[in-house]
A and B are shown apart, each in its own frame.
Chain A
Amino acid sequence: MIPTTYFLGLSAILFSIGVVGVLVRRNAIIIFMSIELMLNSANLVFVAYARQFGTLDGQILVFFVMTVAAAEVAVGLALIVAIFRSKASIDVDAVNLLKG
């Protein structure tokens, strides 16, 4: 059986890629994909531990996370469409109304 440590390592790598993606990319779609990557890395940890301890708790939580992610995507994509309509761009740097 593959040790849990490997899963955790993979999850950490995926999460870090997601974080870097959110911080450095300007394309809103890409940022979204990076967020999905972070969520799924968390899912991976849940599943890995669920397998190690032989319980279903982690797996159930994964379903919740997927549900939330789906809802988030729906809202997020709607926001992106709205931004695109006003700015004719999905570059997040164009949205800087909060600049002091």
Chain B
Amino acid sequence: MFEIVPLVLVFPVVGLLLNTAFSRWLDEKWIGIVASCASCAAFVISILLAVALAGNRFHAEVVLLAKWISIGNLQLPWQMRVDTLSVTMMLLVTGVGTLIHIYAIGYMHRDPRFGRFFIYLNLFITMMLVLVAADNYLMLFVGWEGVGLCSYLLIGFWYDKGNASVGNARAGRKAFVVNRVGDMGILIGMFLIFNLVGSLQFDDVVNFFEHHGAEVGGMATVVTLLLLLGVAGKSAQIPLFVWLPDAMAGPTPVSALIHAATMVTAGIYLIARSAPIFALAPLSQITVALVGAATAFMAGTIAVAQWDIKRVLAYSTISQLGFMVAAVGLGGYVAGMFHLITHAFFKALLFLAAGSVIHGVEHGGHHAHDHCDAQDMRNMGGIKDRMKITFWVYLIGALALVGVFPLAGFWSKDEILSDAWHVGIVEGHWHGVVVYVLLVLAAIFTAFYMTRQMVMVFFGQARSRAAEHATENPPMMTTPLIVLAVLSLLGGALNLPGLHTLGRWLEHTHHFFHSIDFNLSIALSSTLLALAAIWLGTRVYYHRRPLKNATSPDQLQSVLGTVFSFLNGKWYVDEFYDATIVRVYEWKARFLAFQVDWAFWHDYVHDRVISAAFRGGAVALSGSVDTGGIDRFFDGLAHLVRVCSERILRPLQTGYVRNYALGVMLGVIVVLGIILVK
């Protein structure tokens, strides 16, 4: 049964090859069907694998695809791992991926690069599955880089748009470069693991660290901190989160699939996969937890002061990824994975619904000849009545994200907070308390900015002609939204308190994975705080003074003043990086290009030194060596031949017949003599 696991890769590959070969001649419907079916088939295979695992008493199986690298004692095969953790990720990637494929058929309607979009999406699904199904760190890294490539390609999908017609391309480049910083950490971490263990297979690594963990000492900390650098890059944590907000330049289905639901969670998956190493490095665990919590808090504050509908969701995603990272840092792997899954549901839903809003407003803009920015929430308002389905699914997604009982986010966020409470209060670690406080603050901000967004987008009066004429989208786009809304409503059932279905399922992969018990006081307090934040949000944005038109200042701006500008400027992190890294780098590059390369190498070394040396050398060679040496040698040779022929060969040719006859006779005598002597 486990032999079917390669099919999970084969189907998306076939889909992308079909579309690569034929998308030029297929119409949009068929391109979409091919791509969606490829993703859906992979989903079916994932379900079959889950069934097979259940029939195998949840024992992990590995399936060898091919040999890859074998040098000395380095053995790295293409080998796929089927255990509860990887199957969970496969189900998530292919399931949410399929819904987003279907949605994208409607969203990308009439895009000139329609076929290419679906090729990239299928390539992404393939690479993400390579990542989660890998059985060794290097194969995981192949998937890791593959999804990074797809992310780059899809962020820059509309490369000719954006700021000064290169904004989107620059956003893609930024994502790529920032991720390389993190990948350096992963690579060095991998080298160190190989140096310690002599293998990169997960089983070998886990065995090694479980049995010889005490001997390696600080190396586990070094390795895990390097892995954390990679996680910070891919999962958009401090200090490498700056690429994710810019990544919203890509089409909205991409934001939903890659930059909210699946790829950015690869970091959490990596930490969960490396749990036995992290277990040996308390310092790294503390760092991971604090980085996650700080990111959750910081991104939550930034999201409060953004106007771009997708940018709010992007910072919200960073914030929620911070929750997950904090959870796995505290050892709450089940809570982290649980939040990963529920977040995939409701954040994909929110992004797709936001795409639906953007699409509707753009449509209204075309209709009313109002070409305002269709992503700016200040241009929206009062869309509730014109896009009913979108409104209701958006509301469900927002409530799930905020963590209102009994939606998906309530259960998973509560489990993370319980973990933090457990580590901080019950076990008495200071970092648990810090993480708990930061996460609760982040949760309050979450409730506030989602309320703000709901009010700005859906309530009040329309603040532009485009929003006035916004229309609901076709069922092709709304159906996936409804499915995701149902999942966001019921996703909490995966790991209900007392049952711990997900925890029981995952603990077969690592014995570290276990769920925490439900804590009523934490659940109550966080729900109350969320409700309070929602109340505050409606006070500020709805009851106080509804935003009159698109240019009037934000209500919060008048209250908070410079703090709002600071948050709106995203804590000026981009400016800080620009001043400390980008400018310095550009100055260095310019110095190297103009001073070192051009002025020194080109103008001085090349044009002066080398060309003078060449000219001098050429003169010396042509004078003494060529004319004096080589020419004279060949002249002498010719002279010698001439003298020889004049002195010796010419006298032989007398022209007298008898001389030749004498030669013939002498020849005959010699020949006869030779015959006789023999």
Contact = CB atoms under 8 A, between A and B. Distances in A.
A96 B655 CA distance: 4
B620 to A, nearest CB: 45
A42 B241 CA distance: 115
Contacts of B662: 23
Interface in B630-661: 649-658, 661
A97 B660 CA distance: 13
Contacts of B652: 100
A19 interface: yes
A99 B657 contact: no
A23 B654 contact: no
B661 A23 contact: yes
A100 B651 contact: yes
Given A19-B665, A23-B662, A23-B665, A95 B657 contact: yes
B655 A98 contact: yes
A62 interface: no
Nearest to B659: A23
A92 B661 CA distance: 12
Contacts of A24: 658
Contacts of A19: 665
B655 to A, nearest CB: 3
A62 to B, nearest CB: 21
Interface string A2-37: 000000000000000001001110000001000000
> Which of A22, A97, A99, A100 counts the most B-chain CB atoms under 10 A from its CB?
A100
A57 interface: no
Contacts, number: 31
B665 A92 contact: no
Interface in A30-55: 31
Contacts of A72: none
Contact of A99 (B655, B658, B665): B655
A5 B652 CA distance: 39
A23 B661 CA distance: 7
B665 A93 contact: no
Contacts of B650: 100
A19 B649 CA distance: 26
Nearest to B654: A99
B617 to A, nearest CB: 47
A96 B654 CA distance: 7
Nearest to B646: A100
Contacts of A96: 654-656
A96 B659 CA distance: 11
Nearest to B665: A19
A97 B656 contact: no
Contacts of B661: 22-23
Interface string A68-100: 000000000000000000000000110111111
B649 to A, nearest CB: 7
Contacts of A23: 658, 661-662, 665
Contacts of B654: 96, 99-100
A96 B657 CA distance: 8
Contact of A100 (B649, B657, B658, B665): B649
Contacts of A97: 655
> Which of B652, B654, B655, B657 counts the most A-chain CB atoms under 10 A from its CB?
B657
A95 B655 CA distance: 7
A19 B661 CA distance: 9
Interface string B654-674: 111110011001000000000
A95 B654 CA distance: 11
Contacts of A22: 658, 661
A23 B656 CA distance: 10
A19 B662 CA distance: 9
A26 B593 CA distance: 93
B653 A92 contact: no
Nearest to B660: A98
B117 to A, nearest CB: 89
Interface in B484-537: none
A100 B653 contact: yes
A92 B657 CA distance: 7
B664 to A, nearest CB: 10
A24 B665 CA distance: 13
Contacts of B651: 100
Contacts of B649: 100
Nearest to B653: A100
Nearest to A98: B655
Contacts of B665: 19, 23
Contacts of A95: 655, 657
B656 A92 contact: yes
A14 to B, nearest CB: 16
A97 B656 CA distance: 9
19 contacts: A19-B665, A22-B658, A23-B658, A23-B661, A23-B662, A23-B665, A31-B657, A92-B656, A92-B657, A93-B656, A96-B654, A98-B655, A99-B653, A99-B654, A99-B655, A100-B649, A100-B650, A100-B651, A100-B653
Nearest 5 A/B pairs, CB to CB: A100-B653, A96-B655, A99-B655, A98-B655, A100-B650
Given A93-B656, A100-B655, 9 more contacts: A22-B661, A92-B658, A95-B657, A96-B655, A99-B655, A100-B649, A100-B651, A100-B652, A100-B654
Interface of A: 19, 22-24, 31, 92-93, 95-100
Interface of B: 649-658, 661-662, 665
